[in-house]
């Protein structure tokens, strides 16, 4: 029997188990269609593995099968999670959870089914009445004193996807040891018969405006300089939720902060899981901001901002020195936020000396320069806001968190939420735009001034997509190849330090090794060169791709040198890509 025959036999047997009364007729019909089809590709992709409940929850393509997002995979995840909560909090009395969801197709359905299952297991459920931003779900867990929560969302993934984010009682995404404990319980659910779909209505409470108000009141406290907003309340802002959960909350938050001239992109204020006006609902993709920029041109706006479908990340666009609209990347927005927070907290005498900021290891090193020069402690953590949340939790009561960000457009300015927050981030970038306008400057000039003072850097993220079973194997082999034959130079500059977060060892160019102090191993490699370049390599935890993060350094003495610094950096990035073979 060939390997393909063996795989087909295995997936066919697995699919046949879905032809029982435990599965609804529509599901069984779809399974029969796949089994009867002459081309077995869809059958194999749908059943060759179980959709893995990873450390962040579930994420996958919606459809029928064990490797797809559907009521049975979501149901098994929720049943396993409920079992873990009942074990872990056995002596706590009434266990409670918050459930939120985004705008995607099936999100409400998955949220309601999860509410039924949790309540069937004796767990009280606070279910939002409609779609809400991810950060508000995090806030609600803390605000209502819950032990856990879930959010049905696939963030900025294409429309075919949905997902399931699991949160703990601190409002952060689940970390060790609970992540592996939940995974073990989820993996024990062998079939749909073990899922308690019949809920207890008495344990399900619908929440909405009461939590919105508490959350928005808290977000308002993030403002550092309300006076500057009063002076510049008319700055022209264009905002788009890209069909997602920011639709009501973010315009309302901006209004509460005092911004009186906010325009929205009407076509994208339509809530839709089909994302009809964009190819990808991702504010990292330039095309996602096209309609907002068109609107900004027509009204001569000062600032464009877009939140992704679950409103935890924000992308912005500003005018350059020629009046052309340009996108500001995630590293640059993180720089601008942290520069403003530190600078203005100093000016307002709000710093006491025990503040700290956090960035992820793949985010620009210029943030380190800002922190060091201003005597603010900076912590480096793994990619993903659950790690930033962990640093906030570990320092709670000892040090004050004043901001943290990552290159993928996530920022958190407060500690009453424990995930990235586009609601407060949109309001804060609007305040920064007001602040620079008050000085007769633009956000574009502010960014240049930061580079002049702290050093220029340019970052380039490259994702190599490898889909399906063969793709996952290829990504594994690429990482093994980098470990077996690490690059000696990048872009013509020798590699002077290699960090392997899998082994938690840093090795310099003389072979000297030092341990890396991180909470656990992670499949990430980093290379640092003599000329200050940094390259990070990691497989994505949520998508079928391997990611390369390239950062190169340069110098600027004044604003006129920005274009030349950028051009030289582009050349260096290309040279680094060549060295990496990508």
Write out the catalytic residue numbers.
Answer: 155
DSSP 8-state secondary structure symbol assigned to residue 104? S
Give ∠ CA 215-219-220 in degrees, rounded to 5. Answer: 120
Cα 457 to chain centroid distance, Å, stands at 23
The residues that bridge with 149 in the sheet, in sequence order, are: 98, 167
> Is beta strand 237-240 parallel, antiparallel or unpaired with respect to 96-101?
unpaired
Q: Are strands 400-406 and 355-360 parallel, antiparallel or unpaired?
A: parallel
Phi, psi of 149 (to 5 degrees): -175, 160
- Torsion over CA: 128, 132, 133, 139 (sign): negative
For CA atoms 164, 172, 358, 56, give the dihedral sign. negative
Exposed e or buried b for every residue in 216-242, given b needs 16+ CB within 10 A?
bebbeebbbbeebbeebeebbbbbbbb
Cα 250 to chain centroid distance, Å, stands at 18
Q: How far apart are CA 227 and CA 485, in angstroms?
A: 56
Q: Cis omega (within 30 of 0) on the bond before 422?
A: no
Report the distance separating Cα 102 and Cα 81, nearest Å. Answer: 20
For β-strands 493-500 and 525-529, DSSP reports them as antiparallel
What is the rounded CA–CA span in Å between residue 410 and residue 200?
Answer: 37
Question: What residues have CB less than 8 Å from 306, skipping those under 6 apart?
Answer: 239, 240, 241, 242, 283, 288, 289, 292, 314, 315, 316
202 within 8 A of 123, measured Cβ to Cβ: no
Contact 364, 334 (CB under 8 A): yes
Q: Which of 383, 538, 539, 550 is nearest to 460 (CA)?
A: 550
Best CA proximity match to 580, nearest among 500, 526, 512:
526
């Amino acid at each position: 029997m060939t390997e393909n025959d063996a795989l087909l036999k295995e997936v066919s047997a697995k699919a046949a188990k879905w032809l029982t009364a435990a599965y609804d007729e529509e599901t069984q019909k779809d399974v029969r269609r796949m089994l009867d089809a002459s081309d077995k590709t869809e059958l194999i992709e749908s059943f060759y593995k179980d959709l893995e409940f990873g450390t962040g929850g579930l994420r996958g393509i919606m459809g029928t099968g064990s490797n797809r997002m559907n009521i049975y995979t979501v149901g098994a995840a929720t049943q396993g999670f409920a079992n873990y909560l009942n074990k872990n909090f056995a002596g706590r009395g009434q266990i409670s959870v918050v459930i939120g969801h985004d705008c995607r197709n099936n999100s409400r359905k998955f949220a309601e089914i999860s509410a039924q299952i949790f309540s069937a297991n004796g767990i009280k459920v606070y279910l939002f009445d409609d779609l809400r931003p991810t950060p508000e779900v995090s806030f609600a867990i803390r605000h209502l004193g819950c032990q856990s929560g879930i959010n049905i969302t696939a963030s900025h993934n294409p429309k075919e996807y949905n997902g399931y984010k699991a949160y703990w009682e601190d409002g952060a995404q689940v970390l060790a040891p609970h992540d592996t404990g939940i995974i073990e319980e989820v993996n024990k659910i062998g079939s749909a018969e073990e899922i308690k779909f019949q809920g207890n209505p008495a344990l399900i409470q619908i929440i909405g405006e009461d939590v919105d108000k508490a959350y928005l009141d808290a977000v308002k406290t993030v403002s550092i300089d309300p006076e500057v907003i009063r002076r510049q309340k008319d700055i022209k802002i264009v905002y788009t939720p890209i069909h997602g959960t920011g639709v009501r909350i973010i315009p309302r938050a901006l209004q509460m902060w005092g911004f009186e001239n906010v325009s929205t992109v009407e076509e994208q204020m339509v809530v839709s899981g089909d994302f009809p006006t964009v190819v990808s609902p991702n504010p990292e993709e330039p095309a996602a901001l096209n309609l907002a920029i068109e609107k900004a041109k027509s009204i001569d706006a000062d600032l464009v901002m877009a939140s992704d479908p679950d409103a935890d990340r924000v992308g912005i666009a500003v005018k350059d020195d020629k009046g052309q609209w340009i996108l500001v990347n995630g590293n640059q927005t993180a720089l601008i936020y942290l520069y403003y927070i530190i600078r203005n907290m100093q000016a307002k005498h709000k710093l006491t000396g025990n503040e700290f900021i956090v960035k992820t290891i793949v985010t620009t090193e210029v943030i380190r320069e800002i922190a060091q020069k201003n005597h603010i402690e900076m912590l480096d953590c793994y990619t993903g806001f659950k790690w930033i949340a962990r640093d906030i939790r570990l320092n709670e009561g000892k040090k004050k968190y004043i901001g943290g960000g990552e290159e993928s457009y996530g920022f958190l300015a407060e500690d009453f939420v424990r995930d990235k927050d586009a609601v407060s981030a949109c309001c804060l970038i609007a305040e920064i735009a007001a602040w620079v306008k008050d000085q007769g400057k633009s956000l574009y000039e502010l960014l240049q001034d930061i580079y002049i003072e702290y050093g220029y850097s340019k970052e380039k993220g490259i994702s190599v997509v490898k889909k399906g079973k063969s793709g996952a194997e290829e990504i594994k082999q690429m990482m093994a190849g980098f470990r077996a034959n690490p690059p000696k130079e990048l872009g013509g500059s020798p590699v002077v330090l290699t960090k392997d977060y899998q082994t938690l060892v840093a090795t310099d160019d003389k072979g000297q090794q030092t341990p890396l102090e991180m909470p656990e191993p992670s499949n990430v490699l980093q290379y640092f060169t003599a000329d200050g370049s940094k390259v990070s390599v990691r497989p994505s935890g949520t998508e079928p791709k391997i990611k390369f993060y390239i950062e190169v350094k340069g110098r600027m003495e004044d604003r006129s040198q920005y274009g030349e610094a950028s051009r030289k950096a582009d050349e260096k990035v290309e040279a680094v890509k060549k060295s990496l073979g990508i």
